Chain A
Amino acid sequence: MSNADSNVGNVILVDVREPDDAPLTPPGDPLPGARRTADLQVRLLDQNDRQAAENRAVFKARGIRALNFVSSPGSGKTALLERTLDALAGEVRCAVLVGDLETDNDARRLRRPGLPVAQITTGGTCHLDASMIARGLAALPIEGVQLLFIENVGNLVCPASFDLGENRRVTLLSCTEGEDKPLKYPPIFTSAHAVILNKIDVAAILGFDRAAALANIRRVAPQAEVFELSARTGEGCEQWLAYLRGLL
């Protein structure tokens, strides 16, 4: 047998098929054995929470008490702030940060002599976060300020997840919204220090059941102080103002 013959006859087999029990993987897919797992346990809001802690430290160092107002659009955050600012004028030094998707309408409504007011335009973001507050603080003359009011974007869902570093979170519910809002949107009430039931002046006309609303608030926010008031008429606002003075 010549070398040529043996070369013709000898075939080296290289089997590149996967074993039958292993499914064929499409090109580009990884080998099963190379897959690795990394345990991370990273809190996704960690970055926001760190900035919130920094904000909190700034507030503490400067003797500022910060309140974060959250509610649906149209429940009266701006109206309540207008009345509050007027009532505390000359007595407590206040400052305001207002968040909205667009326009500075709210900030213009809240302008008062000697009151630092800044509008934070989020341009579509549905909530304020801690870094926006830090930027707002940098733009605002806050020397000597005792109470900082932060009016969040009108939204009953998203702002609940974002700590701004505030000392008190105040959630508003208005009588035009329905008694069961706290049950439908629990997180924003569960995380509140105070809950305000606003527009009680029109509750009777609307057939709004205040007792049912209060029971619902208690159920999702047993920890919260509750105030019933009308920012428009001023009814019930004394307790609210006393609460604010108590923070100083």
Chain B
Amino acid sequence: MHELGIAESALEVALAHATAAGATRVLRMVIRVGALSGVDPEALRFAFTAILPGTPAEGATLQIDSVAAIAYCPDCQQDFVPDTSHFFECPSCSRLSATVKQGRELDLVRIEMI
């Protein structure tokens, strides 16, 4: 359940920005979660339901943008999407690649506030 700590730091950042911008409420938070980030989107959503009440972000919409993993095969010089049946095996040449181009993201992308 490390999602709870991550939700708390997202809320902290969102509220700090909203306060600095003279807003009183946060209406929406957009969070980007990569497939390799180690964070479960549903657990993150659940964590927010626990911590938002009583804060200026109570009732805020939580939008989670999932980012697929993309790996790169240096032999074929092309990107590929590691899936749960082949993981980091290049679909063209079957070489195993350790180059991850995206999928580790864990960002607070934007907030809407008033």
Contact = CB atoms under 8 A, between A and B. Distances in A.
Interface of A: 30-31, 34-45, 47, 125-127, 157-158, 160-162, 183, 186-188, 190, 218-223
For the complex, would chain A's binding face be called helix, strand, loop or mixed by DSSP majority?
A: mixed
Contact of A219 (B36, B87, B113): B87
Contact of B36 (A34, A41, A187): A187
B13 A45 contact: no
Contacts of A157: 2, 38
Interface of B: 1-2, 5-6, 9-10, 13-14, 17-18, 21, 23, 25, 27, 31, 36-39, 84, 86-89, 96-98, 100, 106-114
B112 A35 contact: yes
A40 B114 contact: no
For the complex, would chain B's binding face be called helix, strand, loop or mixed by DSSP majority?
A: mixed
A161 B27 contact: no
Nearest to B40: A157
A219 B100 CA distance: 13
Contacts of B98: 221-223
Nearest to B7: A44
Contact of B86 (A30, A31, A161, A219): A219
Contact of B38 (A38, A43, A183, A188): A188
18 contacts: A31-B114, A35-B113, A36-B114, A37-B112, A38-B112, A40-B108, A41-B107, A42-B13, A44-B10, A158-B1, A183-B84, A183-B87, A186-B36, A186-B87, A219-B86, A222-B97, A222-B98, A223-B98
